[in-house]
Amino acid sequence: MSAAVDKPRLSRAHELDLLKQMIRIRRFEDACAELYTQEKIRGFLHLYDGEEAVAAGVIPLLESRDRIVSTYREHGHALMRGVPMKAALAEMYGKQEGCSGGRGGSMHLFDRATNFYGGNAIVGGGLPMAVGLALADHMRKENNVTACFFGDGAVAEGEFHESLNLAALWTLPVLFVCENNLYAMGTALALSESETDIHLKAASYRIASEAVDGMDVIAVEAAARRAIQAVRQTGKPYFLECRTYRFRAHSMFDAQLYRDKAEVEAWRKKGPILRFRGWLEANHMIHPEDIARIEAEVAAEIADAVAFAEAGTWEPVETLARFTYAEGTA
């Protein structure tokens, strides 16, 4: 785990909550994969398995007034932000009770109540949105932080560079969080980027940046605490590169012909949940009954969410065109 200097901040309650939140994300994604094979969830589905330490380490440190902009691999972010699991799953089912009214699906979870701004299907599409939200705060002199999550694939997009440039030029309070899982869909990072230390790209725009072990939830939390504090105090952007790995395919349609099974298994052995749980057990900070209780609570929540989504309502055919165009007035 991370250096001893970070350990005094950990209480037993906090340790158990970190573990529970990562297990909660993992079990939810497992359930989504199963529901997808049953054709209860349709369309595209991008799962977060392996990257749980990033969401669990960063998002709880943000205040309710702060904004979060995410990618199409956003289920874990939404759950950590407080989007109800029932509403998230109902959205994936396409039911009216979903957080986006059943119109967004897996890639477009949105929740105004928690300042969760999606859920964006376009690679890198959330970056300019985050800059726009931060610009609004800057102009209103409001001391908020906008956290923008994106993958390493977004680094190859023009809006990545445009967004970082403007955030630096205009001194905007954006926390850029790159979830570097080493593959942009099926392209290995080293095959698409001449500079694979992504945080150095942010440094080239004179943005404070650092890389952190994205499989270590305590290291992520410590780095996020520093970053958020810096953004809050200075109003300037900050860049975190969280080096992580996704255990599942890019999406449920991905045959994964671009990486060996042995590579995936090697990463699984140092996964964030296994690693953190092992550390807690080795230091006698957690007991078998704690794990059993957490698993039971998470299983009950997921079962409740599935029942809610199953019982949800489809939108009538007559109103399917709602929100497609703005309705004018005579």
- Average model confidence (pLDDT) for the chain? 94
Confidence grade of residue 319 (pLDDT, cut at 50, 70, 90): confident
Residue type, 164: L
Residue 321 has pLDDT above 80, yes or no: yes
**What's the rounded mean pLDDT across residues 86-95?**
97
H/E stretch holding 243 reads: strand 238-243
Report pLDDT digits (tens) over 17-61.
Answer: 999 999 999 999 999 999 999 999 999 999 999 999 999 999 999
Question: 4-319 is classed in which CATH architecture?
Answer: 3-Layer(aba) Sandwich (3.40)
Determine the pLDDT at residue 306: 98
Phi, psi of 200 (to 5 degrees): -70, -25
Beta bridge partners, 146, equal: 67, 174
Neighbour tally for 119: CB within 10 Å: 29
**What's the rounded mean pLDDT across residues 101-111?**
95
Range from 8-12, 56-60, 261-265 carrying the lowest mean pLDDT: 8-12
Residue 8 has pLDDT above 50, yes or no: no
Residue 328 has pLDDT above 70, yes or no: no
Residue 199 has pLDDT above 60, yes or no: yes
Q: How far apart are alpha carbons 82 and 55 in whole angstroms?
A: 12
Closest CA to 87 of 114, 62, 61, 121: 114
Closest CA to 4 of 211, 218, 214: 218
Beta bridge partners, 241, equal: 178, 211
Which sign, positive or negative, has the C-alpha torsion 286, 287, 288, 293?
negative
Determine the pLDDT at residue 7: 44
Residue 151 has pLDDT above 90, yes or no: yes
Determine the pLDDT at residue 320: 83
Confidence grade of residue 6 (pLDDT, cut at 50, 70, 90): very low
Pairing, β 208-213 against β 238-243 = parallel
Determine the pLDDT at residue 255: 87
Residue 329 has pLDDT above 70, yes or no: no
pTM: 0.93
Closest CA to 224 of 117, 214, 101: 214
Residue 10 has pLDDT above 80, yes or no: no
Scanning 59-204, the segments in alpha helix (DSSP H) are 75-81, 85-93, 126-140, 158-169, 189-192, 199-203
| 8 Å CB contact between 49 and 99 | no
Show the tokens assigned to 67: 């904004």
Tell me, what DSSP letter sits at residue 209?
E
Report pLDDT digits (tens) over 29-40.
Answer: 999 999 999 999
Q: How far separated are the first and last CA of the chain, in Å rounded?
A: 64
Q: Higher confidence at residue 188 or residue 328?
A: 188
Every domain of the chain and the residues it spans? 4-319
| 8 Å CB contact between 133 and 69 | yes
Residue type, 151: G
